Amino acid sequence: MTICPTMHTLRVAFITLFTTGRLAAQQAAPAPAPRPYRPGVDVLDYALSLDLPDSGNHIEGRAVLTVRRTARTDTLVLDLVRLRVDSVLVDERATGFGRDSGTIRIPLPAASSDTLTVAVRYGGPVTDGLVMRNDSAWGWTAFADNWPNRGRHWIPSVDHPSDKATVSWTVRAPSRLKVIANGVRLGEDPVGGSNPPRTVTRWRMNEPIPVYLMVIAAAPLYEYDLGETACGLTLVGRCVHQWVYVEPQLADFLPGPFRSAADIVSYFGSLVGPFPYERLAHLESSTRFGGMENATAIFYPDQPFRKRTMTDGVVAHETAHQWFGDAVTETEWSHLWLSEGFATYLAALWARKSAGDSAFRAEMEEMRRAVLSSPIVAERPVIDTAEQNLMALLNRNSYQKGGFVLHMLRSTLGDSAFFRGLRHYYDRYRNGNALSDDFRRELEASSGTPLGWFFDQWLRRPGFPELTTSWTYDAAAKRVTLSITQATRFGRYRFPLTVDITTAAGRRVRTRVAVSAQTNTRVTLDPPLDAAPLDLVFDPDVELLARIVSGRR
Ligand SMILES: [Zn+2]
């Protein structure tokens, strides 16, 4: 997802207020091992039928879940906030159930098989998750906006990223609206005898996804067909068919930034591995986010369309999530960087591909600036197991620092080992879940380098290195000696450091030194220089996430 600017302001205020208490809590207790969200059950499939209203926010629904029991458990707990529950059937037999404001507790028969079907009939006014509104420009629309756990406001579900499932949609809506959902459209049929006319639209997603990515859109939508793209770079079909949907009066804006959509999917497909799904739609919507990566149906906010300020950067970010976030999903929210850091860095790589090295460099400089100036980075680790407010995880740790960590892995391991490890990680965990150590193991295998120290210092500790550098020239020995001093605030770091030397003759010589996790590092450089150099530049290619103060020689 992309954060929108207003959210960012709110978050900074929140962080400032609550910093002290949370920091104390983090230091007091070691992180507990992640506990399964709903132990003993795994939802395999959701068959969701919804009746949408002509106006207002009242829905009627039926959810049929295929649930596998993975351990001995006698109760299925589903998330569903507030809505009325009329009936529950387990394997087509009516059963009693417990209900509170956030869950349905369903007793499971002891002697049944491992796999059960659970049907819930429910309904009522929806207050979040499926956003139904009346907009002066657009009229009545419904757009799902589930992140992080708002899907439970309209879908009876195991609403956690660790439980992924396939989903079918059957949506009855006024015929003047187009209904888009995850996966492939199976059909559109008029509902007999309805007045005003209603249409039932069916969609099917064959790949498992978490509930926060299960969405529908129902709105008057103009369809722009981008055609078959990324042919040969997709897993499921031969090509990825892409479309853009906007409110009808904005038809002339298209293709706009979606001109790049074909190349973006092709580029990431060649870099990471085949696109995971059959199709990809891009929709103007009412999402509160700057963009939301719903599987096969990316939702963007309406304002950048209406102001015509949409750029291909947000398209690249949300499209990258189809690989990371959607196909490979973090098992725990605390590993959100596996989603947001990856999308942030892949979007920067797209900038390099489409706009050149200087654009990429500028993007990495901006990413580093954002990290170095962030209070949250100074206080919390990227893998933040103590944070209970999921919205607060949409921060510069998950995005910019996570993205820069990938950049450092790439520069430390080299393109070949880094991208081979990234491709293996995607291939192994596609349509499943992963944690940071799963990614680490793939990079260790591809590079032959142990990386526990790297993941610990960059992801499990707050902060970044703060360096003071200086150098001296010894005329008798014809050598330059570097001195690198690490401040103690965030502990010591180990990293490779590139140094560009401008010789007295004006020649540029590049060297790379290994800096150890200690306060002072002194390194005498090869090769010998006949005269004192004119200048030394530390980290000339923006490869190190550090604050560097260059002292005098
Ligand atoms: Zn994102």
pLDDT at position 552: 61
Q: 342 CA to middle of ligand 1, Å?
A: 8
Reduce the secondary structure of 39-80 to three states and give it as a string.
CCEEEEEEEEEEECCCCCCEEEEEEEEEEEECCCCCEEEEEC
Q: 510 CA to middle of ligand 1, Å?
A: 36
Q: 382 CA to middle of ligand 1, Å?
A: 15
Q: 508 CA to middle of ligand 1, Å?
A: 39
Q: 317 CA to middle of ligand 1, Å?
A: 6
pLDDT at position 270: 97
pLDDT at position 13: 40
Cβ–Cβ < 8 Å for 400, 409: no
SS3 180: strand
Q: 344 CA to middle of ligand 1, Å?
A: 7
Q: 457 CA to middle of ligand 1, Å?
A: 24
Q: 1 CA to middle of ligand 1, Å?
A: 3
- Indicate the pTM of the whole model: 0.94
Q: 246 CA to middle of ligand 1, Å?
A: 21
Q: 248 CA to middle of ligand 1, Å?
A: 27
Residue recorded with tokens 């960590």: 405
pLDDT at position 7: 59
Q: 244 CA to middle of ligand 1, Å?
A: 19
pLDDT at position 475: 95
Q: How far apart are CA 266 and CA 262, in angstroms?
A: 6
pLDDT at position 11: 44
DSSP 277-343: SSEEEEEEE--SSSBB--TTEEEEESHHHHTT---HHHHHHHHHHHHBTTTEEESSGGGTHHHHHHH
Q: 58 CA to middle of ligand 1, Å?
A: 30
End-to-end Cα spacing for the chain: 45
Q: How far apart are CA 173 and CA 202, in angstroms?
A: 11
Which of 524, 525, 521 is CA-nearest to residue 511? 525
Q: 318 CA to middle of ligand 1, Å?
A: 6
- What is the block-wise mean pLDDT of the chain (553 residues), using blocks of 10 residues? 65 38 40 80 98 97 97 95 98 97 95 89 98 96 98 98 98 98 98 94 98 98 98 88 98 98 98 97 98 98 98 98 98 98 98 98 98 98 97 98 98 98 98 98 98 98 98 96 96 97 94 96 92 95 96 65
DSSP 443-482: HHHHH----HHHHHHHHSSSS--EEEEEEEEETTTTEEEE
Q: 53 CA to middle of ligand 1, Å?
A: 31
Beta strand 84-90 with 115-125 is antiparallel
Task: List for the chain the helix, strand, coil content (%; round to 5).
Answer: 30, 35, 35
Q: 39 CA to middle of ligand 1, Å?
A: 28
pLDDT at position 15: 38
69 burial level (CB within 10 Å; 0-12, 13-18, 19+):
middle
Q: 517 CA to middle of ligand 1, Å?
A: 32
Q: How far apart are CA 164 and CA 42, in angstroms?
A: 8
CATH tag, 41-220? 2.60.40.1730
Q: 407 CA to middle of ligand 1, Å?
A: 17
Q: 320 CA to middle of ligand 1, Å?
A: 8
> Which residues are within 8 A (CB) of 195 and not within 5 positions of it... i.e. 6 or more apart?
none
